[in-house]
Structure 1
């Protein structure tokens, strides 16, 4: 499994974002992990990369808390769909959530979400996601 150069965590709880960042870095997955507390901040970061022609700084993996009370993750997804940049199709978006209900599973299907992971992020969940999306494994379906 290749090391990713960039991962972005979008979570409205700064402590959760911090802990997930430390967890991911401890497991040696990326060179860089960025955390933001809103979809708006994430869009600013992505737009900055696009406008300054630093598209290589766009994360290959985005963990998105979809159930944020003030800045619903689905707002981010609607705006993200309108962005245009090189290699956009290779960016993996994983919904990061406390529970994966059937209602959420159905809603996820409407957006460019490639996978989902229940909080808290675990070693098993992280490495399974990495294997599905970054190791050449052709089984890239959302896990049930």
Structure 2
């Protein structure tokens, strides 16, 4: 089981569904959510400057691509920079409704992205990911 994951999506229903499916599957102890890339970067900045004894940080990020304020690609450009090097051991799963081949090709340019899956998140998807990242 992962200690913490982060779901980034602008749709509150998608975030609620992610939390419910992940909680039921014993996939992660804690689920953090953000409604866009900027909010997610703010969360990481908070972790960076927090003087807490806890070293818990997201191990996996579910990322939507099309969001207002800051979309998934822009988030990835910031997150993979040296400014966030303390956190980029986290793997990213793009969870999107897009079927654009250009998005699939672009995702391959980011080594941090380990998969590109279609919404909505499902129990079967989490079982597949458990095997892929070695949780079983």
Q: Same-fold call, TM > 0.5?
A: yes
RMSD: 1.8
Structure 1, unmatched stretches of 5+, are 137-144
| SS of residue in 2 equivalent to 1:117 | strand
Q: Distance in 2 between matches of 1:57 and 1:99?
A: 31
Candidates 44, 47, 50, aligned match of 2:45? 47
Give, in angstroms, the shift of residue 113 of structure 1. Answer: 1.2
Aligned to 2:94: 95
| SS of residue in 2 equivalent to 1:114 | strand
Aligned to 2:22: 24
| TM-score normalised by the chain length of structure 2 | 0.87
Q: How many residues align?
A: 132
| SS of residue in 2 equivalent to 1:134 | coil
Structure 2, unmatched stretches of 5+, are none
| TM-score normalised by the chain length of structure 1 | 0.82
- For the 8 Å contact 1:92–1:133, the answer to whether it is kept is no
- For the 8 Å contact 1:99–1:118, the answer to whether it is kept is yes
Aligned to 2:85: 84
Give, in angstroms, the shift of residue 125 of structure 1. Answer: 1.1
Give, in angstroms, the shift of residue 53 of structure 1. Answer: 5.2
Return structure 1 stretches of 4+ with deviation > 3 angstroms: none
Give, in angstroms, the shift of residue 30 of structure 1. Answer: 0.8
Aligned to 1:12: 10
| SS of residue in 2 equivalent to 1:35 | strand
